[in-house]
Structure 1
Amino acid sequence: MNDDAIRLRSVSRRYGAGDSAVTALDDVSLAFPRGTFTAVMGPSGSGKSTLLQCAAGLDRPTSGSVALGGTELTGLSERRLTLLRRERVGFVFQAFNLLPSLTAEQNVALPLRLAGRRPPGGRVREVLAQVGLGDRARHRPAELSGGQQQRVALARALITRPEVLFGDEPTGALDSRTGREVLTLLRGMVDREGQTVVMVTHDPVAASYADRVLFLVDGRVETELTGADAGAIAARMTRLEAAPC
């Protein structure tokens, strides 16, 4: 089996045409090994979210290719791409995106229900217990704290046992203590269960939970750090933001 959960080869993403065209990603080649935690950082407009969206199959590159495991995404129809995302990819965003009228367990089961599948017996309670909310299954979002709501969103992303879990600023709406709890949870999933996590963040403390940190500038991978602490990550970001264009 290929040891890379995701591989990007010479991926570029341009928006618009002619003189007004904007290049969000510029010939990026990257691999995300299975069972690793990668953080993606960079100045505003550096291409972080575009990288995540192309890697996750939410957006199509203008050129180049993206593979999830052994599946090449670039040539898939919209229907097949939707099915692949539903079955093999998980998403957690800054906004929790929970349905307020549903309980925690109903929110977690929703991706399977929308796919016309009945959640396997005990699976919903299993993932809620995995994120520390086994006793909150029947609570609605309004009865949960922000951190608990993000844990429900995390359980919802994990219900299909995704090959890759993508996070776009997943702790951005949380206070520092609650954010650390969610990051510790993500770190534990990588270490104990071999989950692959790719997370966009602006926070050096959040990035320090990752195995490596990729720094994007103007749509290219400028550099990366491995096993760095928050101080070293912040210092690198400061230098990138201060560099002349």
Structure 2
Amino acid sequence: MNDRTVHAVDADHAIRLCSVSRRYGSGDSAVTALDEVSLAFPRGTFTAVMGPSGSGKSSLLQCAAGLDRPTSGAVVVGGTDLTRLSERRLTLLRRERVGFVFQAFNLLPSLTAAQNVALPLRLAGRRPSRARVREALAQVGLADRARHRPAELSGGQQQRVALARALITRPEILFGDEPTGALDTRTGREVLALLRAMVDDAGQTVVMVTHDPVAASYADRVVFLVDGRVNGELTAAGADAIATHMTHLETAPC
């Protein structure tokens, strides 16, 4: 593949994993969390990652997001190979081009919603404008909650603040690690609908790890992992089809 082809591929994809392996420990006690995983995530799409416990979902997300370094292989974000960056440059890339939303909202209780949203820019040494913070809060439907602290917000509203905080840097890709896991069913669906709208209306790229077939049904495709390897995928699938596929994976003989 020549340079022109590589650039064309990266123009179409927000992120690519190329033969990524992640091993922990050494010798007889070594554990392979990811085993030669190759995946591409097209720009402006919503991908869910599922699999049985211990399948490598969290390791995949951490390596893809630059939170952990693969043992071998390459992770390419917008044409930049993360595995070749120094720790300083990797930190800068995560701040500027990658967003994170976790099951725990991780908001600072002493700060208002607006101050929590502005925090990533402040940590990067930039002064966020009030207009930009308002825009991020409005994007998640919380323009009227800017001065509220986390204790004054519902769980769903706190997760929306966390989404706004992740979006304030206008990241190329947004990673979610069980982002609705701590929410009740109705509120979780509202957050998922918001993620879906971000993809459809704003062209955001979203990669979400989840165990919930209903949550995964909001995605364009669902990628399944088993024992650190890709084990098929479904496109535009409903919750029942996803649940059935997961059941087969979990009951399949080793």
Task: List gaps (5 residues or longer) in structure 1.
Answer: none
Residue in 2 that maps onto 1:27: 36
Q: Structure 2 residue aligned with 1:178, among 176, 187, 190?
A: 187
3-state SS in 1 of match to 2:145: coil
Question: What does residue 195 of structure 1 align with?
Answer: 204
The whole-number CA distance in structure 1 between the counterparts of 2:129 and 2:154 is 27
Q: Partner residue of 2:135? A: 126
1:65 matched residue in structure 2:
74
Structure number having the greater helix percentage: 2
Q: Which residue of 2 aligns with 1:242?
A: 251
- Structure 1 residue aligned with 2:88: 79
1:97 to 95, 106, 112: 106
Which of 142, 151, 163 is the aligned partner of 2:151? 142
Q: 1:18 aligns with which of 22, 27, 42?
A: 27
Partner residue in 2 for 1:169: 178
Which among 207, 212, 228 is matched to residue 219 of structure 1?
228
Paired position in structure 2 for 1:44:
53
Letter of the 2:105 counterpart: F
SS of residue matched to 1:85: helix
Whole-angstrom distance in 2 between the partners of 1:55 and 1:92: 14
Q: What residue in structure 2 maps to residue 53 of structure 1?
A: 62
Runs of 4+, deviation exceeding 3 Å: none
Question: Aligned with 2:250: secondary structure?
Answer: helix
Residue 134 of structure 1 and its aligned partner are, at CA, apart by 0.4
Percent identity between the two aligned chains: 86
Aligned equivalents of 1:242, 1:107: Cα separation in 2: 43
**Which AA in structure 1 matches 2:205?**
T
Distance in 2 (CA, whole Å) between partners of 1:120 and 1:187 is 27
Give, in angstroms, the shift of residue 166 of structure 1.
0.2
Q: Deviations over 1:55-84 (max 9, x none)?
A: 010000000001001111111000000000
Displacement after TM superposition at 1:121 (Å): 4.2
| TM-score calculated relative to the size of structure 1 | 0.99
CA deviation map 1:139-197 (0-9, x unaligned): 00000000000000000000000000000000000000000000000000000010000
SS in 1 for 2:144: coil
- The one-letter amino acid paired with 1:12 is S
TM-fit CA distance, 1:120: 3.0
Q: Distance in 2 between matches of 1:65 and 1:163?
A: 18
Residue 4 of structure 2 corresponds to none
Corresponding letter in the other structure for 1:167: G
Equivalents in 1 of 2:123, 2:18: separation in Å?
32
**What TM-score results when the alignment is normalised by the length of structure 2?**
0.96
CA–CA separation in structure 1 for the residues paired with 2:124 and 2:47: 29
Partner of 2:5: none
Q: List alignment gaps of at least 5 residues for structure 2.
A: 1-7
Tell me how many residue pairs correspond in the alignment: 245
User: Which residue of structure 2 aligns with residue 88 of structure 1?
Assistant: 97
